Structure 1
Amino acid sequence: MKAETAASTNAEPTGTRNAEPTGSLDLDKLYAARLQAARARPYLATALFALHVVESRQVPTMAVDRHWRCYVSPTFVDLMPEEDLAGVWVHEVSHLLRDHHARSDRVARERGLTGPGERLRMNIAADLEINDDVYGDGLVTPRGAVRPIMLQLPEGELMEDYLRLFRLGPLTQSLTWLDCGSGADGRDREWDLGPDGAHGLSDQERDGVRFRVAQAITGRPGDSPAGWRRWAEEAFHPPQPWRELLGAAVRSAASAAGAGDDYTYGRPSRRSAGLPGVVLPSLRRRPPRVSVVIDTSGSVSDAELGTALLEVAAIARAVGGRRDLVSVLSCDAAARTVQPLCRAEGIALMGGGGTDLRAGFARALRASPAPDVVVVLTDGQTPWPGTQPSCRTVVGLFPRRHSGTSWHENDPDYVPDAPPAWARVVELG
């Protein structure tokens, strides 16, 4: 592969074919480009200066590994204009900030994707996620940058979504040179120094860099693109497997037979044709209604209540974003006011006493119209209803360790009952 061939963000720069390579890495030019990138994107400065440069003649252009090393071809630096190199710096560090190597590994396991062709597709998808809004406003778009419009795809999607939207074919034939390194697609390269090599960042150091970048973005959100603001929000509240499980449990309960079903005479049933003179109603599917009961007793911490509010917003997304169909009820030993969901941060959670969620169940089920799904977010230290409610139930359970004795607000020998068998239980955290 020729060094002048494009990297993951660059094609051969015009007007430089006759440039004379110096033979050694031009660090002055490379670092000047990094400084230019930091000036154009100051919120990424911490990450840009955390990258350790490794000169390598095995690398076609520039590439990164998961340990925050940046491998650079001397010839590539000689041939690229400095302003284009600034864009490459931002592109490569974006792969690491967005954790593309771990996400690619996870997607590969979940979808059974194997082989270099699939890893190339992941590299392309990761580039599409980055390049749709990272350039402009003082940062030059490197020649050959892969954009969603080139593959007739929408902008603003995540890598995992882009992977579902395209396959290798005629539109990607010109992209076979893409190689941002193992930091982009998770596949080790022959030039990687590995986990024991010099100048790699530890897990804690990498998390610290991401956190500081997220702080810089959220501190001045108007200075960053929407994709980076979304990333920063998830860096503070990273998606967890249990969140996916909780969302899946709610969606499953809401889409089960009978949930959201109702009869209407607005459209006669097709069976009416077999009964002349009789008009039968047809079955209509309506959006499901969800009632969320949040345990606000003294045994639930403020941090867990904050998590509960985040889950309320996630539950609304799980049922199609119809917040008007989601109501929230706080409950300790008594059920409080039922509140419609407008914004999760505007919900007042009242309580702090003992725990008896049976009152919350009763209050939720008395609502008109009745809910199709009741979601309970609790630490489990509560009596449960003796009979199965008329609607489906999902329990999000905050973790507790019970060793011999368990804890209760007033009784240290209290051992809580496990959630009933008719409830779908998801461990939170």
Structure 2
Amino acid sequence: MPPAPVPASGDGLDRAKLLAARYKAAEARPYLASALYALTVVPSRRVGTMAVDRRWRCYVAPAFVDATGVGELAGTWIHEAAHLLRDHHGRADLLPAADRHDRLRVNIAQDCEINDDLLADGLRLPPGIVEPRLFGLPAGRLFEEYLKDVPASCPHPPDCGSGAHGLPAPWDLGESGATDGVGPVEAEALRRSTAQAVRAHARTRGTVPAGWKRWADEVLEPAVDWRRALAGAVREAAAWAGGAVDYTYRRPSRRTAALGGRVVLPSLRRPLPRVAVVVDTSGSMGDDDLAAALAEVTGVLREVGAGGNRVTVLACDAAVRAVARVSAVEQVELAGGGGTDMAAGVRAALAVPDPPNIVVVLTDGHTPWPPEPVSARLIAALIGPDAPEPPPWAETVRVPAPR
């Protein structure tokens, strides 16, 4: 595609140097050329170094360009393009609310995901960049995996803009900015064309880093977005449960005053949904499967407003081994290791004094189920590609096992 337009001069930005660095980056990594040239340059003295927004506008600090060599600028171009190619802002939108609004930690985790690949690829980056080894973390992970281990402070806190962490930045032009940028449909087309270029380059030259190969495979052969599917299923069930109403005299209706206090009318009450999570802890479930799936479900439940002590977690193999009302995944005890009977876990979840509206069952599917529909809405989160189908009256979400 043709290069994106460059704003007029007069802002102190050394365009010749900046664009020479982009040319160098595209020449060194030709499979990224389309993405690099799709970025629109926007000079800004408000940004620290370089940053991007959701519309593929690249905000550049003139002072940063002056102080940085062409080689390091080329690496920075690729770094910023990687945020957009990997859809970091879209993935950040799916994080639990508490994590999503912590832009510093999200950005650090995202930089860890990118920079380990770029450094392994031999690219030069400016001093002070963030990489996993600074925090004692292994390379090769996704930013969602790094996030839980990223500290709240960092010696060189990055801000790569709303195209990375997803939150508005002070320098953003917004939707009505002077430069239109790239829309969502064109952005997705750019990701696919870049992924195809990565594959073609790997076939003909065999020099594409493993991180980019994995990314291309995920773009061109996407797995089901189970996190979004599970979030949608739980939100729908929560809305259904939260829609139930009852009458209460604890808070009289506002219409009581119109009757002169002679008659007290009840008001309508809309209760919060009660949620139970039944976790299969039988011998066929690995620790990584349990930890990954439970962490995701905990985030979804927190997102739909069922946090605090309203989430009951039951560990179950052939029988229920542990029951706890939790507000964080660290409070869960995953006892078990024997046979499998999720029907027992569902019965136990429904037998508590204040039974749930929603029951989420995390299992590999090799289990008996209740013989008929239960009184709560049941969501079966099936872990692994070979999990057999649950009963047709259960809602099903398939969860890929961790690699």
Question: Which interval holds the TM-score relative to the shorter structure?
Answer: 0.5 to 0.7
Whether contact under 8 Å (1:38, 1:45) holds in the other structure is yes
Q: Give a deviation string over 1:271-297, Cα, whole Å, max 9, x none.
A: xxxxxxxxxxxx9835879xxxxxxxx
Query: What's the offset of the Cα at 1:226?
Result: 2.1
3-state SS, counterpart of residue 70 of structure 1: strand
Does 1:205 pair with 2:186?
A: yes
When residues 143 and 286 of structure 1 are mapped into structure 2, their CA distance, relative to the original with a 3 A threshold, is same
Q: Give a deviation string over 1:362-413, Cα, whole Å, max 9, x none.
A: xxxxxxxxx82499xxxxxxxxxxx77xxx99699xxxxxxxxxxxxxxxxx
CA distance in 2, matches of 1:106, 1:211: 21
Whether contact under 8 Å (2:18, 2:65) holds in the other structure is yes
2:218 to 227, 230, 234: 234
- Which amino acid in the other structure matches residue 188 of structure 1? P
CA distance in 1, matches of 2:87, 2:379: 35
3-state SS, counterpart of residue 51 of structure 2: strand
Find the counterpart in structure 2 of residue 160 from structure 1: 144
Q: Give a deviation string over 1:117-141, Cα, whole Å, max 9, x none.
A: x211111111001001213555223
Whether contact under 8 Å (2:68, 2:126) holds in the other structure is no
2:198 to 217, 221, 225: 217
When residues 205 and 84 of structure 1 are mapped into structure 2, their CA distance, relative to the original with a 3 A threshold, is same
CA distance in 2, matches of 1:81, 1:395: 50
Query: What's the offset of the Cα at 1:112?
Result: 2.2
TM-score using structure 1 length:
0.53
2:173 to 162, 187, 193: 193
Find the counterpart in structure 2 of residue 175 from structure 1: 156
Work out which of the two has the higher radius of gyration on C-alpha atoms and give 1 or 2. Answer: 1
State the superposition RMSD in angstroms: 3.9
1:27 to 5, 11, 15: 15
Structure 1, unaligned runs of 5 or more: 1-21, 263-282, 290-317, 320-370, 376-386, 397-418
CA distance in 2, matches of 1:284, 1:100: 37
When residues 74 and 284 of structure 1 are mapped into structure 2, their CA distance, relative to the original with a 3 A threshold, is closer
- Which amino acid in the other structure matches residue 285 of structure 1? G
Find the counterpart in structure 2 of residue 332 from structure 1: none
CA distance in 2, matches of 1:287, 1:134: 46
3-state SS, counterpart of residue 94 of structure 2: helix
Number of equivalent positions: 266
CA distance in 2, matches of 1:287, 1:83: 59
Q: Give a deviation string over 1:81-136, Cα, whole Å, max 9, x none.
A: 000100000001111111111222321xx242365xx2111111110010012135
Whether contact under 8 Å (1:374, 1:393) holds in the other structure is no
Find the counterpart in structure 1 of residue 164 from structure 2: 184
CA distance in 2, matches of 1:261, 1:426: 22
Find the counterpart in structure 2 of residue 285 from structure 1: 337
CA distance in 1, matches of 2:174, 2:58: 13
Does 1:72 pair with 2:53?
A: no
- Which amino acid in the other structure matches residue 156 of structure 2? L
- Which amino acid in the other structure matches residue 113 of structure 1? D
CA distance in 2, matches of 1:162, 1:136: 18
2:45 to 48, 57, 61: 57
3-state SS, counterpart of residue 163 of structure 2: helix
When residues 44 and 286 of structure 1 are mapped into structure 2, their CA distance, relative to the original with a 3 A threshold, is farther
When residues 395 and 127 of structure 1 are mapped into structure 2, their CA distance, relative to the original with a 3 A threshold, is closer
Show the 5 A alignment for 1:383-398. none
Whether contact under 8 Å (1:65, 1:192) holds in the other structure is yes
TM-score using structure 2 length:
0.56
- Which amino acid in the other structure matches residue 228 of structure 1? W
Show the 5 A alignment for 1:26-175. 26-107=14-95, 110-113=96-99, 118-137=102-121, 139-169=123-153, 172=154, 174-175=155-156
When residues 97 and 395 of structure 1 are mapped into structure 2, their CA distance, relative to the original with a 3 A threshold, is closer
What percentage of aligned pairs have identical amino acids?
Answer: 44
Structure 2, unaligned runs of 5 or more: 1-9, 235-276, 283-313, 320-334, 342-362, 373-377, 383-390
Find the counterpart in structure 2 of residue 353 from structure 1: none
3-state SS, counterpart of residue 92 of structure 1: helix
